[in-house]
A and B are shown apart, each in its own frame.
Chain A
Amino acid sequence: MNARLRKRHLIFWILILIILPIIMIRAKINIPQQPIENKTYSKINEQKPFLIKESNDLKNGLKFNFRGENKNQISQLEVILIKPLKDASSTLFELNYNDEKGTFIGEMNETGVYRFPLKEQRLYGVLIFDEIKKDVVIKKVFQWD
């Protein structure tokens, strides 16, 4: 390498050293945090309160169980993912009464049982949303008596 090329390498690495850490750190700290009351924390995740209502969507390999316990004021949505979702990024949101994406509930990856704490014992519906494609994967409205 001659002096010109060495200088060019140096400029590239100084720029990389300045720019990339900013992007890396800002990208990580700007991820929207879940509202604290909606976090799937381990304590409630281990709890399995009484079943209030079940609603199945077997075509998409999903079972929704609403669980709750008045004594301890626990409301929980149990989602059983029987078969994997096709989308790489699947996040669960409340469906509000305008049929639009509401509050973030949690993330789902592989098949299994997911338990999410809820503010109320009833939900109008849920949306499974692909954050990468910005696309609704599954919309589910619950029928309540």
Chain B
Amino acid sequence: MGLNYQLVLWNKNKKVYDRFILLFVLLYLLLFWGITLITNSNTSLETLTIRSSGTLAILLLHIILSIGPLARINKKFLPLLYNRRHLGVSMFLIALIHGGFSIFQFHMLGDVNPIYSVFTSNLDYSSLHDFPFQVLGFLALLILFAMAATSHDFWLANLSAKTWKTLHMLVYVAYALIVSHVFLGAFQQETSPYMPVLMGIGFVVLVILHISAGIKEVKKDKQTYEASDEDWKYVCEIDEIEEDRAKIFIVDHERIAIFKYENKLSAIHNVCKHQGGPLGEGKIIDGCITCPWHGYQYLPQNGQSPPPFTEKVATYYVKIEDKKVYVLPKPLDEGTEVSPAIIES
């Protein structure tokens, strides 16, 4: 969370993470260039740049798309999720180098505008072998540009969380365009089976990760109850909730996080106002519920972000009877103060 506008939201952790990104990028490029020049010393500088940046961008995109489901499956991956935004922008810059050099190499020497040439030099959309694959890459690059340009809380606040999230879910469209771009383009000339096989493995891994994470979420969603004004719903035994952690309870397919802290229980809506992070998978830090995705904070008793921040989520009534936790699953207005249930020893 930050109050003032900063071009890049860096903190100590993000700086360390960004150094790792830079190191990885440099190492990959050095290895790619080194191996290529050793095995084929006559490769031109343009071809080396196009191939190394293209393969690196695809590798980074696979890593980026893996982080979300990995963090759902195992909480150890949450720090990667917290820092994913910088990796996304880095990937876009590398993809831009690939796209820029490709347009320069293949379209710059003609007598028409190179961007116009990308769209008009080949119009054979009926052929798979001669498909205008560069158009697919260009469209993917436009999506990645829109995402990178709006990868800032400034845009999240101004576009609204719903629009912002919709825009950023276009990453899946970009992924589909990029896979098609590669298979209908470079792989039409590729004689070795290794690269198509590697790309296929990447696709399978992504599908397995996303479906596994989805199945895990579906299992949680199945423990659902209808919301009601009167019926208290049993959640769990008090001892089942760890100190400063939460138990997630599902009503009408929406999740409620019931936090235990300082011998008290409070319940809030599970979805963070920032980017929809799962608050119930976070913990209480400095008296505030802290979102595991990007560190947004809320006070447990009223679901409000501490001043001067203004985010707030719905709260719920909680009670304890015979060491059993019950929740009244009708949401109160966002930010409504609710007295915590006291745990008697």
A residues contacting B by CB (< 8 A) are 1-3, 5-6, 8-10, 12-13, 15-17, 19-21, 23-24, 26-28, 30-32, 83-84, 86, 88-89, 107, 109-111, 131-134
Q: List 27 A-B contacts (CB under 8 A).
A: A1-B271, A1-B276, A1-B277, A2-B271, A3-B221, A5-B165, A8-B169, A9-B169, A9-B214, A10-B214, A16-B207, A17-B207, A19-B176, A23-B180, A23-B183, A24-B179, A24-B196, A27-B128, A83-B42, A84-B42, A88-B47, A109-B191, A110-B39, A110-B42, A111-B40, A131-B188, A134-B122
Q: Are B183 and A1 in contact (CB under 8 A)?
A: no
Contact of B15 with A by CB under 8 A: no
Q: A32–B44 Cα gap in the complex (Å)?
A: 28
Chain B hits for A26, CB < 8 A = 128
Interface string of B107-127 (1 = CB under 8 A from A): 000000000000001100000
Q: Nearest chain-B residue to A13 (Cβ)?
A: B210
Q: Nearest chain-B residue to A7 (Cβ)?
A: B253
Task: Judge whether B225 is part of the interface by a CB distance below 8 angstroms.
Answer: no
B104: CB under 8 A from chain A?
A: no
- Nearest A residue to B43 via CB reads A84
Residue pair B188, A31 in contact (C-beta under 8 Å): yes
* Residues on the A chain within 8 Å of B214, using CB: 6, 9-10, 13
Q: Shortest distance in angstroms between B254's beta carbon and chain A's nearest beta carbon?
A: 6
Task: Please tell me which one of the listed residues B183, B191, B211, B253 contacts residue A107 in the complex, with CB atoms under 8 A apart.
Answer: B191
Q: Is B77 an interface residue (CB 8 A)?
A: no
Taking residues whose C-beta sits less than 8 angstroms from the other chain, chain B's interface range is: 35 or more
A1 CA to B42 CA, complexed, in Å: 51
Residues A24 and B203 in contact, CB atoms below 8 Å apart: yes
Q: Does B175 contact A (CB under 8 A)?
A: yes
Give 10 new A-B contacts, CB below 8 A, not counting A10-B214, A13-B210. Answer: A6-B214, A8-B169, A16-B175, A21-B203, A23-B183, A24-B179, A27-B128, A32-B129, A107-B191, A111-B40
B189 in contact (CB, < 8 A): yes
The residue in A17, A88, A134 that gathers the most chain B C-beta atoms within 10 A of its C-beta is: A88
Evaluate whether A133 and B189 lie within 8 angstroms (CB atoms) in the complex, with A9-B210, A13-B214, A23-B183 already known.
Answer: no
Complex CA gap A26/B179 in Å reads 13
B residues whose Cβ falls under 8 Å from a Cβ of A: 39-40, 42-44, 47, 50, 105-106, 121-122, 128-130, 165, 169, 172, 175-176, 179-180, 183-185, 187-189, 191, 196, 199-200, 203, 207, 210-211, 214, 217, 221, 253-254, 271, 276-278
Q: A27, B187: Cβ atoms under 8 Å?
A: yes
A62, B187: Cα distance in complex, Å = 26
Please give me the residue from chain B that is nearest to A89 by CB atom.
Answer: B189
> What is the minimal beta-carbon distance from A25 to any residue of chain B, in angstroms?
9
CA distance A17 to B175 in the complex (A): 12
B176 / chain A contacts, CB cutoff of 8 Å: 15-16, 19-20
Which residues in B have their C-beta under 8 angstroms from that of A23?
Answer: 179-180, 183-184
With A26-B128, A110-B42 given, is the CB distance from A133 to B184 under 8 Å? no
Which of A1, A16, A24 gathers most chain B CB within 10 Å?
A1
Residue of A nearest to B40 (CB): A110
The CA of A133 and the CA of B185, in the complex, are separated in Å by 11
Question: A110 to B121, alpha carbons, bound, how many Å?
Answer: 26
Q: How far is the CA of A2 from the CA of B214 in the complex (A)?
A: 13
4 closest Cβ pairs, A-B complex:
A84-B42, A27-B183, A3-B253, A30-B128
> Which chain A residue lies CB-closest to B210?
A13
Please give, as numbers and ranges, the residues of chain A lying within 8 Å of B184 by CB-CB distance.
23, 27
Q: Which residue of B lies closest to A110 (CB)?
A: B40
For B40, what are the chain A residues with a Cβ–Cβ distance below 8 Å?
Answer: 84, 109-111
Contact in complex: A3, B128 (CB < 8 Å): no
Residue of A nearest to B172 (CB): A12
Complex interface: chain A residues within 8 A of B271 (CB): 1-2
Q: Which residues of B contact A27 (CB under 8 A)?
A: 128, 180, 183-184, 187-188
Chain B residues with CB below 8 A from A2, complex form: 254, 271, 276
